[in-house]
Structure 1
Amino acid sequence: MNTGLLVQYVVIGLVVLASALYAFRKLAPQLTNRWLVSASIHFSQPGHAVWMRSFARRLQPKQATGNCSDGCSTCGACGPKPPAAARGDTVPLEFRPRQR
């Protein structure tokens, strides 16, 4: 196996891994938040190196601020968005019988 082929496999593997993590984060946000919190707690122990503790601070998931403009939708106070037809964005389909 030559070097170019090995580099190609590594790059493809990294792209696939990154896209899988992104999809998993979008599909299971609560589970990934729990994993990030537990990893952050583990790495922020006083016995670890400084770079590990700074990495732990970066791993901590963002918390909801309670502000209605942040779009967190944790309290449900913002309410559901109206359907697209009510906003006037789209026109509903209208079916008509064929003329013969």
Structure 2
Amino acid sequence: MSTGLLVQYVVVGLIVLASVWIVMRKLARKTTNRWLAAASIHFSRPGRGALARAFGRRLQPSEATGDCSDGCSTCGACGPKPPATARPGEPMPLEFRPRR
């Protein structure tokens, strides 16, 4: 096997892994948040190096903060947003939200 072919396989493999991770983050958010939280705890243990603890803090998912302003709606305290109302015969208004 030539070196060029090996590099090509490695690059394609990395692209596939990145694609799988993105799909998992979109479709199985709770599962990936659990994985990230577990990895964050593993790297943030006392006695680890400063670089490992910084990496653990970076891995911590944003929903794990427990702050009411992050909009995770896991506790139900925020409540559902009421649906937009329109008069009969009028189209529903569009609502644009920025990506996270």
Aligned counterparts of 1:79 and 1:6: Cα–Cα separation in 2 = 54
Larger radius of gyration: 1
Counterpart residue identity of residue 87, structure 1: P
Aligned counterparts of 1:73 and 1:46: Cα–Cα separation in 2 = 29
Ranges of 4+ aligned residues in structure 1 off by more than 4 Å: none
Q: Does 1:66 align with 2:75?
A: no
* SS of structure 2 residue aligned to 1:12: helix
- Going from structure 1 to structure 2, the CA distance change for 1:23 and 1:80 (only over 3 Å counts) comes to farther
Superimposed CA distance per residue, residues 16-66 of structure 1 (whole angstroms, 9 cap, x where no aligned partner): 000001101111111111111111111111121111101000000113643
- Aligned equivalent of 2:57: 57
TM-score (structure 1 length as normaliser): 0.70
What is the aligned-residue identity percentage? 53
Aligned 1:40-55 pairs, distance under 5 A: 40-55=40-55
Aligned 1:1-100 pairs, distance under 5 A: 1-63=1-63, 65-67=67-69, 72=71, 74=73, 75-80=78-83, 85-87=91-93
* SS of structure 2 residue aligned to 1:46: coil
Aligned counterparts of 2:50 and 2:72: Cα–Cα separation in 1 = 35
Gaps of 5+ in 2: 86-90, 95-100
- CA root-mean-square deviation: 2.5
- Going from structure 1 to structure 2, the CA distance change for 1:22 and 1:73 (only over 3 Å counts) comes to same
- Going from structure 1 to structure 2, the CA distance change for 1:26 and 1:80 (only over 3 Å counts) comes to farther
TM-score (structure 2 length as normaliser): 0.70
Contact between 2:84 and 2:92, CA under 8 Å: does it hold in 1? no
Gaps of 5+ in 1: 89-100
